[in-house]
Amino acid sequence: MRREELDPHSDGLMADAGLVLPAGVAAGTEGERKSRFGDLSVGAWLAIGWMVFVILVAILAKTHIFTWGDPQAVHAECARKGPFAQDGSAPGRLFGCDSDGRDMVARLALGAWTSLLVSFGAIAFGFIVGGGLGLVAGYFSDKPSRPIAAVAGGVIGAAFGVVAFGVIGAVGLGLSDGLAAVIGGVGGLAAGGYFGYQRGDVDTLITNVFNVMLSVPAIVLALALVAFLQGSEAAGTKAILPDVLILILAIGIVAVPLVGRISRGSALTWSQRDFVLAARAQGAQHGRIMVREVLPNVAPAMFSISLLSIAIAIVAEGTLAILGVGVRPPAPSWGNIIALDRNALFTSPHIVFEASFLIFVTVLALNYLGDVVRARFDVRESGI
Amino acid sequence: MQNELLRLIARRLVQLAIVLIVVSFFTFALIRLLPGDPTQTIIPFGRGPFFEHARARLRSDLGLSKGFFAQYWDYLTKLVRLNFGHQYSSGRSVGTLVKQSLPVSLELMIYAQIISLAIAIPLGVLAAYRAGTRTDSVINTTAFGALALPNFVLALLLSFFVGAQLKWLPTGGYAPGWLDPIFNGSVHMDLGQHLRYMVLPAFSLAVGQIAVYMRLLRTDMIATLQENFITLAKAKGLSNARILWRHALRPSSITLLTAAGLSVGTLIGAAVVVEVIFTVPGMGLKIVQAINAREYVELQSYIVIIAVLFVLVNFLVDFLYAVVDPRIRRARAA
């Protein structure tokens, strides 16, 4: 969590994995080189195999190239039946049916698509926004960066200006809402931009934004975001976005500060290396150094974190579904399969536990792969 | 030292104020951004005096006759005076609901913390003592599996096997415990019944934490066992148990205690889903009920309260470390 704990290790390790290294980083010697996949353990292969299997099933089910039947088709004779169910098993249907009589295999296959789409999408969002901000914060933490700090300070200042002067202007001075907001926004932009320019400390600004975001427990924040974004059907306020996108945004926003802090820590240590200084001395621009020199070194660490994050996002999707704000039916996801038939837990346990089992194995596989990648690149766990 | 502590407190107070403003404005704006007349959106059905009365009260809770910022100012000042508005379906004040549900969640989290520490510490010590052996790898593998087990899956498993199949413990519900009377005056209390209801939810929360704590303690303990003073203790002929528990555990437990403090946030989040599965009437269940009933006024109060509590707990944790450990005091004040 603290910057000192994340230290980049020998360049040889990076070279071992066959990564493209930026100029200036010594490659490992010939003897140290290993093949990229040659020494993976059986467990790692099993985990990779499972992930390939799940992703393949999800894609096939979504694209109808190969389907396991219609996930919406109702087979009344099979309702609530399945392995270990009170009503007995369903002949010809390996995993049984849900309480409406829809085939579980078909629903789990398409559910894989929804769950994976949400979690990959959310983490992609978290990594692009949070990783990007963290990279900038870490890179500039020991360098003055007036223009960027001015922009960041201006944005934050404008937001606070609108709220602060909005209240003062509208309540205290009796101005109209719009006028107060505009004055506050412009004033805040100017003040924030000026202070940002003076201090030149973009790192502090971004880190503080992360800290404020982290001050609300993650699942509560995601819950509130989804609840408000989904609107209320009863009241006729249709959601503006499709459910999947809402979940991607909600989980993604929650991931931003978590990913951002790790990326900042990693970028910070790499930015203090001599090859960055060398690039700077050769006249390279900050943007170019960040993308070409720092990013490739931060990436392996972030890849490990991304695997662990996707696992967390899959669990988050399930959690939100159980809380009643997941992807709404009829589209199945692993989470809403559990949520829909949670009431049937004692009579038809197979419905809930089949989906739970898939979540468990997928999370296990991703955690394991995350550990394997981390061990390869020697990324410390401290940031998570 | 006094100075450093004061600076720490001042920084945290500023942070608390900023969080309060950001979170309250955020939840406030989200309600106001719902299209249409909020009272019609929130209470869509029903005519007649009862519903008109409910809408009128909602209108006054929201302060709708005023402008946007004036409404926010009203809301913020009410919030600071702990006036959270009303649940419009029943007319009960949200403050009362908070007083009923908060102790339940707190109890659940305290039990979960106690269980996880009580199990994780012996396991961590054992794994470190037997580092590299079969025992160590069994404990580690189990912990790895436990980490991949989402809280809700564990809750469902326990509910099904221990609750429904073996019928050892209730699968849902709640009986008031020792914390409820403090918040709500005299309540009928049956501690045995209370604990029976809390065992499964608390375990569902604890298992993930056990794995995290165990791994942290194991790592630190292995490092401590390499120290010279342990060698000296061995040379003096002290028993293994005495070395482990009296000499090695204390210096190894700083990271563990930090993690236990910081895990309060994780526990709040995990408690939400566990409370829903076991229908424990804590803040988590209340939040979900508020969402399903579109009780936005109630929901925004819960979110603000949780955010503030969370910052306060983190502050408390920081403060305690600063008091306990001078090194941290210096590092954090800087």
Write the DSSP assignment of A192-221 as a string of letters. Answer: HHHHHHHH--HHHHHHHHHHHHHTS-HHHH
Please tell me the distance from the alpha carbon of residue A67 to that of residue A70, in angstroms, as a whole number. 7
| pLDDT given at position B41 | 61
Q: What does the pLDDT read at residue A364?
A: 93
Average pLDDT score, chain A: 79
Tell me the per-residue pLDDT of A4-40, one tens digit each, with 9 for 90 and over: 333 343 333 333 333 333 333 333 333 344 445 567 7
Pairwise pLDDT comparison (A283 vs A357), residue with the higher score: A357
pLDDT of residue A237: 53
pLDDT band for position A235 (cuts 50, 70, 90): very low
Mean pLDDT of chain B: 81
Q: Which chain B residues have a beta carbon less than 8 Å from that of A234? A: 44-45, 294
Report the pLDDT value the prediction gives residue A20, as an integer from 0 to 100.
38
Supply the pLDDT for residue A238. Answer: 59
Per-residue CA distances from B160 to A325, B35, B65, B167, B198 (Å): 24, 43, 51, 9, 16
Per residue in B256-291, pLDDT tens?
877 887 787 778 878 888 999 998 998 888 888 887
Residue A381 pLDDT more than 60? Answer: no
pLDDT for B64 equals 65
* % chain B with pLDDT above 70: 88
- The stretch A86-93 carries a mean pLDDT of 76
The winner for highest mean pLDDT among A232-246, B47-61, B115-129 is B115-129
State the pTM of this model: 0.83
pLDDT digits over A327-344, tens only?
Answer: 888 888 999 899 888 888
pLDDT at A236 over 60: no
* Whether residue A127 has pLDDT greater than 90: yes
A230 lies within 8 A of chain B by CB: no
Residue contact A217–B147, C-beta within 8 A: no
Q: Is A228 on the interface with B (CB under 8 A)?
A: yes
pLDDT (tens digit per residue) in A185-226? 888 888 888 888 888 788 888 888 888 888 778 887 888 788
How many CB atoms are closer than 10 A to CB A255? Answer: 27
pLDDT tier for residue B153 given thresholds of 50, 70 and 90: very high
- Residue B159 with chain A: CB contacts under 8 Å: 345
pLDDT tens digits along A36-71: 556 778 888 999 999 999 999 999 888 888 777 777
For chain A, percent of residues with pLDDT exceeding 90 = 20
B213/chain A closest Cα distance in angstroms: 13
Residue entry with tokens 């692993």: A334
Which pLDDT value is given to residue B2?
65
Is the pLDDT at B324 greater than 80? The verdict is no
Chain B residues with beta carbon closer than 8 angstroms to that of A169 = 69
> Nearest Cβ partner of A227 from B70, B272, B291?
B291
pLDDT of residue B323: 66
Average pLDDT over residues B32-38: 60
For residue A248, count other CB atoms closer than 10 A to its CB: 24
Residue A323, pLDDT above cutoff 50: yes
State whether residue A186 sits within 8 Å of chain B by CB.
no
Give the tens place of pLDDT for each residue, A152-174. 888 888 888 888 888 888 777 77
User: What pLDDT shows up at residue B295?
Assistant: 76
- The answer, yes or no, to whether residue B44 has pLDDT greater than 70, is no
Q: Are A358 and A364 in contact (CB under 8 A)?
A: no
Predicted confidence at residue A56, as pLDDT, reads 92
Residues of chain A contacting B157 with CB distance shorter than 8 Å: 353, 356
Interface residue of A323, A369, A384 to substitute, partner B, most B CBs within 10 Å: A323
Q: Does A26 touch chain B (CB under 8 A)?
A: no
Task: Kindly report which listed range (A121-135, A244-258, B33-47) carries the lowest average pLDDT score.
Answer: B33-47
B chain contacts of residue A183, beta-carbon cutoff 8 Å = none
